Structure formats: structure tokens, C-alpha cells
């Protein structure tokens, strides 16, 4: 049985990644109201312990995890390491003396506690001494209510506010002004200010390398010469080739050895990672990781039986899908300046073709929209179990490459 998982980044005021909220289901049916939340929580903990591994999904950052009332009263959070978990009390939980005692016990054991989708009620003041974070849905909570919440917790300065579902930079800046410390949503992956942007020579060099490597039979001597003519590219390639993620029998002494060691497919990935890193300068690191996850996920989908898209085209499509947010410029204008095939441009700009369907599927996973994921897999005639494994594999791969880079 598939173990469905999604992770959503949580950033601080400096747009640095501090945590992921992990959203789990043990089947697509779990999205519907007649499913027992208690069972879903149990499956989630089982999956973390035996199937996924928390470190593989969170890159050793904090993991925000939802807990139901019964799971809290039964002490389920204690099955997970307190150093890496934020215990989210779901908005459906009813405050009670038993729940208060459970929170007090968790706090004494060193757990971090958050109130999820908080709606202000006086009874919650009894929980404030044990609460570290209050999560507020920024799409449904009025500014006056946010100010009311801030006033209610003013005697508890240890409580931090987290704005979730922040989808635009305007909302992010407004939430900053209101005193929020943490932000959850995809504002960071969208353009802040749309403007015209040209690529500098180093970016164009990497773009041309990437395009050359996308050829069915790349000219390796010519590619080697490009690396040898750029000291910065050479250093980065050598550092990457000597990463622990690759098994090597001897030291690398030149560019040719590094290229041979990596092999064509991994060299393509390296150049693509380098391309993304250049464009994501001064952007949240989570944006680079998100691009790498998309790239690897699309690449893995292209290897499914019956697929016609090449792995390199699929990888590149996923990688470039967030380029607009990286460069704060119109995507169509950016792609006009890059040597990218029309098939990829159609997917990215016009939402057309099989590669566009790959992107719709990864977006459903990112948002934990399991109903959309189910529908998209049905349209594409993909098995959801296999696609889920590809998503988790892409997350692990992206984490390793981002660290190595």
C-alpha cells in the first residue's frame, strides 16, 4: 500500500528554511470526511518510523505534524523524537482539562507545541503557557482578529506567530509588519516584482552547456573544453565529483576524469543544478530544493512504461518551472533568451503536452491535494503507488544534491 506524503516549507523572516509541515495519508480515500483521523495519525507515525524516515523528508529541519485529540491524549507524539517534531494541535480539537494536562506533559518532556488554524477563544488562554507557536490561516483571518490574537498573547512573549497559506509577496510583507515570525505558503516561488531581465555571460555559458548536454549524443570534448576555459565552473565540477554521494576508487586530478566519473546523466544533472543555483541567488534555499525535486520527479515520470518524453527534457522542464520566481521576470521572456526546445516551452508557457501534465502532478503532491493527484494519475494512466515512490525518491535525491552543491 502506498504511503502518501507531502511537505510544505516553513520560512523565517529572512526567508530561510526552518521547518517543513509533513502531510500524510495512507491512501487517497483518507481525504474524505468519513475517514477516522485517529487511524490516519497512527499510520502517519508508523510510516515515519518504518517507511520514510523523518530525516529523509525534512533535511534535518523541524517537522510540523498534525495530531488529533485522541492521539494527543494517548501520547502518540512521544513516539517521535522531541528534537525534530513540532506537535500541531488540530483546529478540530476541543480544549479540555485532559488535553491541557497532555500539553503540560509534552512541554515538560521538551516538545514544541503549536496551535493549528487558530481561531481565538478565551478558553485557549489556559494553553498559552505550553504553546510555542500559533498558526493563523492568512486567507481567512481578518486583520482585526490577528490584532486581537496578538493582544491576547502579549503576556506570553515566548509564543511566535506563523502565517500559513501566504501566497503572494504582498501578503508576506503585510504579515511581516503584523509581527509574524514564520511563514508557510508558496509566495517565495512566485515573482516579487515583474521586470525585464537579461542573463549575464556566466549564466548564458551554463545555459549553453545545459542545452549541449540535452542533445542525444553530446560533444563531450567540446563540453570538456568549456569547463577547462572557466576556472569557476571547473572548481565547482571537481568539488561536486568528489562528493561522498559518488563512489570513487581514486583521486580526481583533471576535468576529463571528473566527467568520466560522473557519467553523462549525472553530468547533465550537475549542470542543471548549477544553472538553478545561479538563478536562485539571493532567493530562499527552499526554492532551489523545490526546483530540484520537481526536476527529478519529472525525470522519473519519463521512465514510466510507455512514456515518450526524454529524461533530459523532463528533468529540464521541472527545473525551469520555477524560473519566473527565481528571476522575478516573465517566464516567456526568460525562455526566449535560452536555447530551450519548443516542447519544453509549450509545457512551461502554454501548459500544453505531456510534460505539462508532469508539472500538474508534482504541484498536486506539493499541495497535498490527493484528490487532484488521483485524478491526474488516472488521466495519465499512472499507478499512484509508483508515482508516490517517485516523489519520495525525488525528495531524497534533491536533498543530497543540494547539500553536495
* 30-42 residue pLDDT tens: 432 333 455 545 5
Which pLDDT score is estimated for 336? 81
Which domains, ranges and CATH numbers included, belong to the chain?
Answer: 4-189 (3.20.20.450), 201-404 (1.10.3210.10)
Which pLDDT score is estimated for 35? 38
Which pLDDT score is estimated for 401? 66
Give the end-to-end CA distance of the chain in Å, rounded to a whole number. Answer: 34
Which pLDDT score is estimated for 230? 82
Which pLDDT score is estimated for 74? 87
Whole-number percent of the chain with pLDDT over 90: 44
Do 235 and 184 touch, CB atoms closer than 8 A?
no
* 61-99 residue pLDDT tens: 898 998 888 889 988 888 888 998 999 998 889 999 999
In terms of pLDDT, which residue wins out, 384 or 47?
384
Of the candidates 64, 155, 162, the residue with the CA atom closest to the CA atom of residue 113: 64
Which pLDDT score is estimated for 343? 93
Which pLDDT score is estimated for 354? 97
Which pLDDT score is estimated for 97? 95
Long-range contact set of residues 204-211: C-beta below 8 Å, sequence gap at least 24: 205/230, 205/233, 206/233, 206/271, 206/274, 206/275, 206/278, 207/275, 207/338, 207/339, 208/339, 209/271, 210/268, 210/271, 210/272, 210/275, 210/316, 211/338, 211/339, 211/340
Q: State the alpha helices, DSSP H only, in 153-284.
A: 169-177, 201-213, 220-228, 231-241, 255-279
Question: pLDDT class for 55, splitting at 50, 70, 90?
Answer: low
Q: Within 10 Å of residue 263's Cβ, how many Cβ atoms?
A: 11
Q: What is the distance, to the nearest Å, from the Cα of residue 239 to the centroid of all Cα atoms in its chain? A: 25
Taking the model in full, what pTM does it have?
0.81
Amino acid at each position: 500500500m502506498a504511503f502518501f506524503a507531502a511537505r510544505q516549507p516553513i520560512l523565517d523572516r529572512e526567508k530561510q528554511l526552518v521547518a517543513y509541515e509533513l502531510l500524510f495519508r495512507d491512501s487517497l480515500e483518507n481525504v474524505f470526511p468519513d475517514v477516522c483521523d485517529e487511524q490516519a495519525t497512527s499510520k502517519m507515525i508508523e510510516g515515519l518510523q518504518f517507511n520514510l524516515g523523518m530525516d529523509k523528508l525534512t533535511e534535518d529541519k523541524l517537522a510540523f505534524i498534525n495530531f488529533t485529540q485522541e492521539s494527543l491524549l494517548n501520547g502518540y507524539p512521544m513516539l517521535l523524537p522531541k528534537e525534530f517534531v513540532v506537535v500541531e494541535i488540530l483546529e478540530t480539537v476541543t480544549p479540555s482539562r485532559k488535553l491541557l494536562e497532555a500539553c503540560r506533559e509534552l512541554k515538560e518532556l521538551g516538545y514544541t507545541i503549536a496551535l493549528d488554524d487558530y481561531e481565538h477563544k478565551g478558553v485557549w488562554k489556559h494553553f498559552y503557557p505550553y504553546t510555542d507557536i500559533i498558526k493563523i490561516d492568512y486567507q481567512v483571518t481578518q486583520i482585526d482578529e490577528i490584532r486581537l490574537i496578538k493582544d491576547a498573547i502579549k503576556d506570553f512573549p515566548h509564543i511566535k506567530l506563523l502565517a500559513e497559506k501566504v501566497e503572494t509577496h504582498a501578503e508576506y510583507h503585510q504579515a511581516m509588519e503584523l509581527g509574524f515570525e514564520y511563514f508557510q505558503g508558496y509566495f517565495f516561488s512566485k515573482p516579487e516584482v515583474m521586470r525585464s531581465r537579461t542573463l549575464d555571460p556566466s549564466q548564458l555559458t551554463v545555459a549553453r552547456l545545459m542545452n549541449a548536454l540535452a542533445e542525444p549524443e553530446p560533444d563531450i570534448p567540446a563540453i570538456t573544453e568549456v569547463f577547462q576555459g572557466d576556472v569557476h565552473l571547473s572548481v565547482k565540477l571537481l568539488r561536486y565529483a568528489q562528493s561522498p554521494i559518488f563512489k570513487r576508487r581514486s583521486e580526481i586530478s583533471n576535468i576529463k576524469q571528473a566527467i568520466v566519473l560522473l557519467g553523462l546523466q549525472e553530468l547533465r544533472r550537475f549542470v542543471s543544478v548549477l544553472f538553478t543555483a545561479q538563478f536562485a541567488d539571493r532567493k530562499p534555499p527552499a526554492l532551489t530544493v523545490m526546483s530540484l525535486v520537481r526536476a527529478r520527479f519529472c525525470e522519473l515520470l519519463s521512465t514510466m512504461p510507455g512514456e515518450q518524453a526524454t529524461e533530459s527534457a523532463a528533468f529540464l522542464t521541472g527545473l525551469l518551472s520555477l524560473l519566473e520566481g527565481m528571476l522575478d521576470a516573465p517566464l516567456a521572456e526568460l525562455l526566449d533568451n535560452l536555447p530551450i526546445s519548443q516542447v519544453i516551452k509549450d509545457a512551461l508557457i502554454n501548459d500544453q503536452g505531456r510534460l505539462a501534465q508532469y508539472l500538474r502532478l508534482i504541484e498536486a503532491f506539493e499541495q497535498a491535494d490527493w484528490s487532484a493527484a488521483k485524478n491526474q494519475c488516472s488521466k495519465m494512466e499512472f499507478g499512484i503507488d509508483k508515482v508516490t515512490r517517485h516523489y519520495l525518491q525525488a525528495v531524497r535525491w534533491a536533498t543530497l544534491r543540494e547539500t553536495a552543491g
